[in-house]
Amino acid sequence: MRKAVLVILSAVLILTGCSTTISVPYLQPSVIDMGGYRNLAVASAVPYSGYVPSSRWVRGIDFRAARYHVYGGFSSSTAASVAAYATDELMDTLSSSGFFNILPPSQTDAILESGSYGMDISEEFRRRGYDAVMIPRISGMTVDEFLYSVPHEVWWRDSDGRKHRRIEYDYYYEQSAHIEYTITVIDTETGRVAVRRTFADSDKREDIFNPGWIRLSDTGYLFRRMLRSFNAGILHQFVPIARTYDVSLMKNKPEDKKAEAAYDMAKDGDYEGAEALFLSRWQENSHLPSGYNAALLMAASGSFDDAIALLGEVMDKYSSSDVRMLYRDLQTVRSRNEEAIDQVTGASSASALPADNGNAVYAAAMGR
């Protein structure tokens, strides 16, 4: 039986090893069309100003833990440090994408502050060549903390060798945190909000409590961890991202001996040579796998129109679910890629909202 299993596993490995996967690169458009806002001024994140912890002191949820008095892990500086961290994370995320021409927070903040002295904020950003202002704000923070005890048995022997049992207690703390992080984009041409997105998350941690402590661990750790988790979502919302559509070559069935060399070429990375040979086999004898594979390799080189046209020819001759699926998927990939290219080139338009160039919109975005 063991020998039979080994033979089956070997066959599976051989079949898997013979399958070559082709990656079709394309751009995934962002959820929000930022094509008209690539010259972007980014402000510092506005700290949360509300009341965060439920109490200055951490409570014990049982009578043994209740005897300890310890300060919570949220201090007066936590909100400011979390906002500063949010600013750094947002700048790193947007800058690394290469999509935006960014005015940094130090300069953006100065212009926003000048609005308090009568300067037209939108006009000043336009004068400097910036299409939009992004204002991040910590719009919500909550913290809940408590102590609790856990009993455990301790056994010991007296001088006569008799066993005795006593109950001792270990102490733990739990910290739960929730954050809401709002990003507002204001169109400097119209002076209106172009888009607003809020990201929210909750997190917690439990650890051993040392009765000698006067304060629990800083809850800023939890907030920073949640802010990092927003980076992928921010990119998804605001930035076109490079993706790949991965598909395996169709196997050589029905077998065409002359097509075997094309499979070897593709395996070795010679996609251009493999495409040419697969295409010739399709044109000479309408070999289904060759037509499919030639189209897939065309798409991998960025020739989506040629690939889709070839798959249309293949579908005219054969009824194949694999061909139909690749045809539909490549149409979707092409459409997404074209939309993303419009965003990258700035061909997409900015907001068509009517102008309202007052400074109040900026103050509202900052929660003032």
103 and 61 in one domain?
yes
- Predicted local distance difference test score (pLDDT) of residue 349: 55
Encoded tokens for 127: 């004068």
Taking the CA atoms of 338, 340, 343 and 348 in sequence, report the sign of the dihedral they define: positive
CATH code of the domain covering residue 318 = 1.25.40
Instruction: Note whether 355 and 286 are same-domain residues.
Output: no
Please say whether the beta carbons of 37 and 194 come within 8 A: yes
pLDDT number for residue 350: 54
Provide the pLDDT for residue 15: 38
Domain assignment of residue 8, yes or no = no
Asked if the structure places residue 97 within a domain, the reply is yes
Considering the domain architecture, whether residues 183 and 283 belong to the same structural domain is answered as no
Structurally, the chain folds into a number of domains equal to: 2
pLDDT at 351: 54
Which residue positions in the chain have pLDDT lower than 50? Answer: 1-17
Which residue bears the tokens 């000043």?
A: 124
For 107, the domain range is 35-240+347-365
What would the pLDDT profile of 155-193 be if each residue is shown by its tens digit?
778 777 788 788 888 999 999 999 999 999 999 999 999
Where would I find the beta strands (DSSP E) of the chain?
A: 21-28, 39-42, 59-60, 101-103, 132-157, 163-187, 192-208, 241-248
pLDDT at 16: 38
> Both 74 and 184 in a single domain?
yes
